[in-house]
Structure formats: structure tokens, C-alpha cells
Structure 1
Amino acid sequence: MNRIVSSTPGRIRVRDKRLRNPARLDILEAELLKIEAINELHPNAAAGSMVVIFDPEQIDLSAFEVKVDAAADRALDASLSTENRSMKMRINRYAKVGMLGSLATSLALVAAGQKKGHAVAGGLFMACLGVHLTTHRKSLLR
């Protein structure tokens, strides 16, 4: 699938929302470095793009586009292990699972009339919620 959003002799921009993941952007960079004629790579994780500067005298533009598109397909189809996730996102995932589990436990305990257990489970829920909100604190008040 074509992810090339702009192409001029000497410059190509590849964009895909999955390239906002720095690990996937690194994979794309490694794939592109295998192609000859590339002079510079400018990754931008915030935009989910990669600008490729190449020598148009070494390779035909259409042939180069095919190679870049194939490299992008390989990079985007590569599976990412949880080891590539940032520690912050892994902690946030555990916090979300903890919130779900403690909420269900809290509701079950209140239905059973166990006020102390309900309070403990509610406290655990609030602690996990605090972790989650701390993880996303920069985007809370935009």
C-alpha cells in the first residue's frame, strides 16, 4: 500500500499514523538505510512521517518510490514486542487493568455488604487512577 504523501526528485515523504510509535519509526529507518542512493533521513515521530533525501541521479524516481514503499510496508507489518514499548506505557497498561479489576471487586463487595472490602478496593481503584492520570498529565488540560 502506498504511504508516500509527497514525492519530488531528490525528496520523498512517507507518512502513516503508526509511525508515531518511535520503535516502528526506527524499524523504517533501518529498512530505508538498506537502500542505496539515500543521503539523509529525517524522522518525525510527532507527525508520523519520515523525509527521505536521495540522489536522483543514482536511481529513477518511480523505481525509488517502489523501494521506499516496500520498505515502509515491511516496517509497518513488523510485529512489535512489548519490550519495544516504553516503560511508561507498560505501567499505564497495568494501571488500567488494575482499575478494571478493582472496580469490579468494589462493586461485588458493595453488593455483598462488605463495606471494609469495598473501601479497600475503592482505594486501590483511586491509586491506579492516579497512576493513569499522571501518565497522561500533559494532555489533560489542553
Structure 2
Amino acid sequence: MTHIVSSLPGRIRVRDARLRNADRLRGLHEKLAGLDGVLSCESNAKSGSLLLHFAAEQVDLAAFEAQIDALVDAELARPQLVSGRRPLKMRVNRYAKLGMIAGLGSSLALVGMGSKRGHAAAGAVFVACLGVHLSTHRRHILR
């Protein structure tokens, strides 16, 4: 997906709402500033944009834009850590997956032992954790 909102000879503007995160913007700024042919790179966290000035005669514009888009996509796909921790959504999903594994394993063990009530309770835990997991990934499921 292209994040380039303006492209003129010697000047490209990249904008995305997710670039309003200062850490994410700083990381992308460093990557784009290091590209061959880039003369300057200005970032604005309030608007979530980067402005690149480059030597138009030194680069193939189509390849340069594709390279910029690839770097932006890679930076936006990277999970952002908050204070060295994963976002809450990812942590909740991790516990939901662990709950599904534990619920399924104990449900199978309890049915083998002949405990119908235990089997039903462990199955309910599995279904509850599955619901959390599916709600976390609901946007990706129905594409």
C-alpha cells in the first residue's frame, strides 16, 4: 500500500496516522535519511508525515518510491513496544492462546478419565479463550 501522498521531482511526502507515534516516526526517519540520494528528511509527529528532499537526477523515481513504500510498510508492520513491553492487545492474545492450549489439553485428559463435568468446564474455558483470540483478529478473519 502506498503511503506517498505527494511526489514531485526532488521531493516526496509520506503520511500515515500511525506515524504519529514518535518512536515509530524516529525509526522511519533514520531509515529514510540513510537512503542513497536523500539530501534531507524532515519529520512531523503531529501530522504523522515525513518530507524527503532528494537528488532527482541520481535516482530512478519509480524504484525510489517502491523502496520508500517498502520501508514504510516494514516499519508500520513492526509491533510497537510500550516501555519495553508488548502492547496490551498482544499480551491479552498471548494469554488467550495459552488458555486455549491448557483448556484443550485438560478437556481431553478429563474426557479420558470419564469426568463429564470437568470436560465440559475445560471446554468452556477453551471456548472463552478462543472468543478472545478471534475478537483480537476479527479484522483479519473476515477479509
Residues of 2 paired with 1:74 and 1:55: CA distance? 24
Residues of 1 paired with 2:56 and 2:3: CA distance? 20
Amino acid at match of 1:73: D
**How far is 1:34 from its partner?**
3.3
Residues of 2 paired with 1:83 and 1:27: CA distance? 16
Output the TM-score relative to the length of structure 1: 0.57
Instruction: Give yes or no for the alignment of 1:61 onto 2:29.
Output: no
Unpaired runs of 5+ in structure 2? 86-143
| Percent identical | 45
Amino acid at match of 1:9: P
Describe the SS at the equivalent of 2:58.
coil
Q: How does 1:21-36 map to 2 (within 5 A)?
A: 21-36=21-36
The answer for the alignment partner of 1:96 in structure 2 is none
Residues of 2 paired with 1:39 and 1:10: CA distance? 9
Unpaired runs of 5+ in structure 1? 86-142
Root-mean-square deviation (CA, aligned residues, Å) is: 1.5
The answer for the alignment partner of 1:43 in structure 2 is 43
**How far is 1:49 from its partner?**
0.3
**How far is 1:84 from its partner?**
6.5
Change over 3 Å in CA distance of 1:79–1:59 after alignment to 2: same
The answer for the alignment partner of 1:70 in structure 2 is 70
Amino acid at match of 2:70: A
Describe the SS at the equivalent of 1:2.
coil
Q: Deviations over 1:19-62 (max 9, x none)?
A: 11111101111221331100000101111100011001110111
Q: Which structure has the higher relative contact order (CA within 8 Å, separation 6+)?
A: 1
Native 8 Å contact 2:33 2:40 kept in 1: no
4+ residue stretches of structure 1 with deviation over 2 A?
A: none
Describe the SS at the equivalent of 2:57.
coil
Residues of 2 paired with 1:83 and 1:54: CA distance? 34
Residues of 1 paired with 2:84 and 2:34: CA distance? 22
Residues of 1 paired with 2:34 and 2:68: CA distance? 10
Residues of 2 paired with 1:42 and 1:70: CA distance? 19
Residues of 1 paired with 2:47 and 2:31: CA distance? 19
What is the number of residues matched between the two proteins? Answer: 85
